């Protein structure tokens, strides 16, 4: 099992195992539940030709084409990411699409655009890596035009469901994973933070990544593998505990008993 931690990796992509992270993003984006989530986000953004949309934490631009198609030909899709590596890959991926797409390197809370530049902003699986999300939402408010729409998808890791015979250790693993993220409890605070910044028409709904298939099991191994190994290294778990936990989960996958549900949240709000 590859041991790159997605937490450390996605916070410092340019100094991490690029290929592991890129493949992880591609495989996640290929899941039907993720594609369905994107379509719902586009619907909530009310994306239409002529709109200027910002995707904060766009990664390697996997979803850029689909979103840009909604605003073309007169609108614009703009993607930003803190990683130079990701932005360069995103530019390569979309260079021949003949769509209104631009990419820039930028931190989520410090975007290089004038006030009221965008009709809509989205960010997906990004804020869990950021401690001060209030500052990010203030930046989003600055960037949105009056009536502009914000859509956020992220995980509330403490709500994860992992079917496993060792329920005590599994609870400990879920708590450790949640605490390992800079913002693993984001789901509980989204409504409060959006309201405090001044967003209106706020709506928050659950959107879980759930399933039993082998591909999802492999993604879970890559998502949790490095995190749990860090727990072994700092003494939270023993190697024996983690090895046995993985083995039991793999046995369940082979016999059709594997089930996982990662607690996703989709939040929506508008600028008054």
Given this model, what pLDDT does residue 152 score? 98
pLDDT at 13 over 80: no
Q: Convert the pLDDT of each residue in 25-81 to its tens digit.
A: 888 889 899 999 999 999 999 999 999 999 999 999 999 999 999 999 999 999 999
Given this model, what pLDDT does residue 166 score? 98
If you average pLDDT over residues 175-180, what whole number do you get? 96
Question: Which of 267 and 214 is assigned the larger pLDDT?
Answer: 267
Given this model, what pLDDT does residue 27 score? 87
Mean pLDDT across the chain: 93
Given this model, what pLDDT does residue 72 score? 98
Q: Convert the pLDDT of each residue in 91-103 to its tens digit.
A: 999 999 999 999 9
Q: Convert the pLDDT of each residue in 54-70 to its tens digit.
A: 999 999 999 999 999 99
Question: Which of 15 and 203 is assigned the larger pLDDT?
Answer: 203
pLDDT at 2 over 60: no
Q: Convert the pLDDT of each residue in 219-228 to its tens digit.
A: 899 889 999 9
Long-range contact list for 161-169, CB < 8 A, 24+ apart?
161/210, 161/259, 161/260, 161/261, 161/263, 162/220, 162/249, 162/259, 162/260, 163/252, 163/257, 163/258, 163/259, 163/260, 164/245, 164/248, 164/249, 164/252, 165/248, 166/244, 166/245, 166/248, 169/241, 169/245
- Label residue 214 by pLDDT band (50, 70, 90): confident
If you average pLDDT over residues 133-150, what whole number do you get? 98
Given this model, what pLDDT does residue 4 score? 67
3-state secondary structure 218-266: HHHHHHHHHHHHHHHHCCCCCHHHHHHHHHHHHHHHHHCCCCEEECEEE
Given this model, what pLDDT does residue 1 score? 46
Q: Convert the pLDDT of each residue in 223-254 to its tens digit.
A: 899 999 999 999 999 999 999 999 999 999 99
Given this model, what pLDDT does residue 3 score? 58
Given this model, what pLDDT does residue 254 score? 93
Separation between Cα atoms, residue 130 and residue 11, nearest integer Å: 8
pLDDT at 211 over 50: yes
* Terminal Cα-to-Cα distance of the chain (whole angstroms): 48
Q: What is the pTM of this model?
A: 0.93
Structure tokens given for 255: 């016999």
């Amino acid at each position: 099992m590859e041991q790159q931690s997605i937490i450390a990796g996605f916070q410092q992509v340019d100094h991490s195992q690029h290929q592991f992270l890129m493949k992880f993003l591609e495989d996640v984006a290929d899941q039907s539940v993720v594609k369905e989530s994107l379509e719902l986000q586009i619907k909530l953004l009310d994306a239409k030709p002529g709109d200027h949309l910002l995707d904060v934490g766009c990664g390697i631009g996997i979803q850029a084409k689909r979103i840009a198609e909604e605003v073309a030909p007169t609108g614009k899709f703009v993607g930003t990411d803190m990683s130079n590596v990701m932005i360069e890959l995103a530019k390569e991926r979309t260079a021949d699409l003949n769509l209104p797409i631009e990419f820039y390197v930028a931190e989520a809370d410090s975007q290089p655009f004038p006030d009221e530049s965008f009709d809509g902003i989205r960010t997906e699986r990004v804020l869990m890596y950021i401690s001060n999300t209030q500052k990010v939402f203030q930046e989003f408010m600055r960037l949105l035009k009056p009536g502009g729409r914000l859509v956020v998808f992220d995980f509330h890791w403490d709500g994860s469901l992992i079917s496993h015979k060792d329920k005590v250790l599994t609870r400990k693993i879920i708590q450790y994973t949640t605490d390992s993220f800079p913002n693993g409890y984001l789901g509980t605070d989204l409504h409060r933070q959006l309201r405090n910044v001044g967003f209106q028409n706020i709506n928050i709904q659950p959107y879980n990544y759930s399933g039993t298939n082998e591909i999802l099991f492999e993604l879970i191994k890559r998502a949790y593998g490095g995190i749990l190994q860090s727990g072994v290294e700092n003494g939270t778990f023993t190697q024996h505990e983690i090895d046995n936990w993985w083995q039991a989960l793999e046995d369940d996958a082979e016999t059709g008993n594997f089930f996982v549900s990662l607690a996703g949240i989709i939040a929506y709000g508008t600028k008054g």
